[in-house]
Structure 1
């Protein structure tokens, strides 16, 4: 429910009040004594879904943007006419659940902080995310998402596109690009600092840190996260629901991958940053694409009907462009996913084959204690480089034929270039 406060221009009082009467809107009018070009102020309650069509009708009657209009939340409205309005405008579909175009625009603008605050919070969140990744602490990484101010620019570009507010679109686009660059730069500088000052152990292999490794070689599920964040963000902002938690989800798609890029650069491994860089870009684009399509589906359109067709063409071009780019990045992520799947399949098949070998009668007394598959560092498309098989056997016995057979079995599932290391451990049974 909303309470609208509207200034009535001189000469428009009767026309505007007749329009409210035709719409079945209850109103109260007070005289205006500020010696400006307004004769009165009208107050009237509306269901959230009725705000946009009623204000559009009033603007058609001569209320321009120079006449200020205030829309605030109303806790309770007791009125038979209001209930009739609610039944008319709230019919359970998507459009009846959303807030007005005017409120959406104001909400999108308010979610983006001032330049100084945005820069500060982005840098701080990137540094915290970098620390969390190096510590392999999921809790700290989540904390970095909470303070990231990325939801405003991420959603503002979509809002600006569908309501034909190019200033909002360009401003949000600039903030997004700046946010990504700032996050990567801050993460790289911080990671380089802790590395050269030995705050982290010397010789730390970043690929051995789980929180980092999963972002060095992202898969297609990352795309789902970004698309889901975009849809959830737009649904939250367009229905007037709190966007705080959704902001964390959007930050989850952007801040940790950006911090991972910075860490890889600080460790002098630019090739390792390829996967996480693609992840950052595809997440940014996916959030914008999901937001754009969701807003258009929800029924948001430009205020001026003459701008509808040009806006449709503009939205269509941007949506098609985003879809094409996201699909290209999706193919790249699909390649990484296939690479990871192949590596997992290799490990599973190799383990089964080695166990089958050791169950043969000639190797009675031997057992597989551990099988470790070591991947190469050719991120993001990693592949098995070495297999370490730890075999337990009778004391004082080492079968060289077994080592050769294990090498053959392992490379049967690879491409023939995988190094195999067999470690024999004496197992005494009592």
Structure 2
């Protein structure tokens, strides 16, 4: 269930209430006249089944409530109410399959913001991965994958294609390109430093490295895994399954590939650097392609009569 808290101009309240009452899957309607001060108006609250939420929110936007008032949406973790149970049963479809497109756009917009925190996370993840590739340590590689924040901009780019938001697409591309560029440049410097203190060496990079040599040897399995992970990650965002998103983060070779490319470049191992770059691009392409197709299928399935 979702909880909606609305601020409505007084002359719009009746239309909003009628809309809520005729929407299948709503309950617990509360109207508090004159309670809002900024902006001035009435406060209207209701609960709605997740599968009916997107339709109701879109209809409220058509009334202009996002411009003249306010629409706030919260997830309800627990609702002990027979009326709520009845509303969920009456609503068409399953809540787990429903996509709140405005929520998805807003969430991915935030995740694709090029901020100091974003740059710090992707840079730290790349440096951790650099230690992992030199030491041939799979645990460090997995840790770097979990720390890396790059799935946010990738999901935002897929969302921008489906929702036709060019500004979100540009924002996502900037976050990806600048983020990886900064992370790789810093990691090159980090590699020089680690070599100077005798913690990294060319011999370690050229060793067989059975646990991590897949990073600079892309193949079709790399693309297949990236596609599967992109599907899973997109589903985790649309269904708010954060645990699944963590699993996706440690399934794709993006940050480790960037790290291996940076370390290999610092040692003039250009063959490894190019192989790692191919791995990075292959994974990015697979995730975006899978994410876009997943959202298109969800949109088509949900709109079917």
* In 1, Cα distance between equivalents of 2:151 and 2:107: 11
Residue 78 of structure 2 corresponds to which residue in structure 1?
76
- Tell me the SS of whatever aligns to 1:210: coil
Bigger shift: 120-129 or 17-26? 17-26
* Contact 1:234/1:295, CA 8 A, preserved across alignment: yes
Residue 87 of structure 1 corresponds to which residue in structure 2?
89
Residue 225 of structure 1 corresponds to which residue in structure 2?
225
Quote the offset at 1:15 in angstroms: 1.5
TM-score, normalised via structure 2 length:
0.88
- Tell me the SS of whatever aligns to 1:43: strand
Distance 1:35 1:192, change over 3 A: closer
* In 2, Cα distance between equivalents of 1:261 and 1:37: 53
Residue 44 of structure 1 corresponds to which residue in structure 2?
46
Distance 1:190 1:21, change over 3 A: same
CA deviation string 1:273-303 (max 9, x = no partner): 22211110111111111111111111189xx
The alignment covers a number of residue pairs equal to 298
TM-score, normalised via structure 1 length:
0.64
The answer on 1:193 being equivalent to 2:154 is no
Unaligned runs of 5+ in 2: none
Q: CA RMSD in A?
A: 2.4
Quote the offset at 1:137 in angstroms: 0.9
* In 2, Cα distance between equivalents of 1:300 and 1:126: 37
Residue 66 of structure 2 corresponds to which residue in structure 1?
64
- Tell me the SS of whatever aligns to 1:10: coil
Residue 246 of structure 2 corresponds to which residue in structure 1?
245
- Tell me the SS of whatever aligns to 1:236: helix
The answer on 1:154 being equivalent to 2:131 is no
CA deviation string 1:157-195 (max 9, x = no partner): 111222233222211111111222223223322223323
Bigger shift: 52-61 or 255-264? 52-61
Residue 174 of structure 2 corresponds to which residue in structure 1?
174
Distance 1:266 1:296, change over 3 A: same
Residue 272 of structure 2 corresponds to which residue in structure 1?
272
* Contact 1:229/1:249, CA 8 A, preserved across alignment: no
* Contact 1:8/1:39, CA 8 A, preserved across alignment: yes
* In 2, Cα distance between equivalents of 1:158 and 1:195: 39
Quote the offset at 1:206 in angstroms: 1.9
**Aligned ranges 1:100-111 → 2 under 5 Å:** 100-111=100-111
CA deviation string 1:101-122 (max 9, x = no partner): 1221222233346611111111
Distance 1:169 1:65, change over 3 A: farther
Residue 165 of structure 2 corresponds to which residue in structure 1?
165
Distance 1:196 1:77, change over 3 A: closer
* In 2, Cα distance between equivalents of 1:208 and 1:29: 69
* In 2, Cα distance between equivalents of 1:254 and 1:127: 13
Quote the offset at 1:149 in angstroms: 1.5
**Aligned ranges 1:275-290 → 2 under 5 Å:** 275-290=275-290
Quote the offset at 1:202 in angstroms: 6.1
* Contact 1:162/1:300, CA 8 A, preserved across alignment: no
CA deviation string 1:226-284 (max 9, x = no partner): 1112111110000111154145236x420111111112211212123222111101111
* Contact 1:236/1:246, CA 8 A, preserved across alignment: no
* In 2, Cα distance between equivalents of 1:36 and 1:29: 17
**Aligned ranges 1:221-370 → 2 under 5 Å:** 221-242=221-242, 244-246=245-247, 248-249=249-250, 252-299=252-299
- Tell me the SS of whatever aligns to 1:30: strand
* In 2, Cα distance between equivalents of 1:42 and 1:73: 17
Residue 128 of structure 1 corresponds to which residue in structure 2?
128
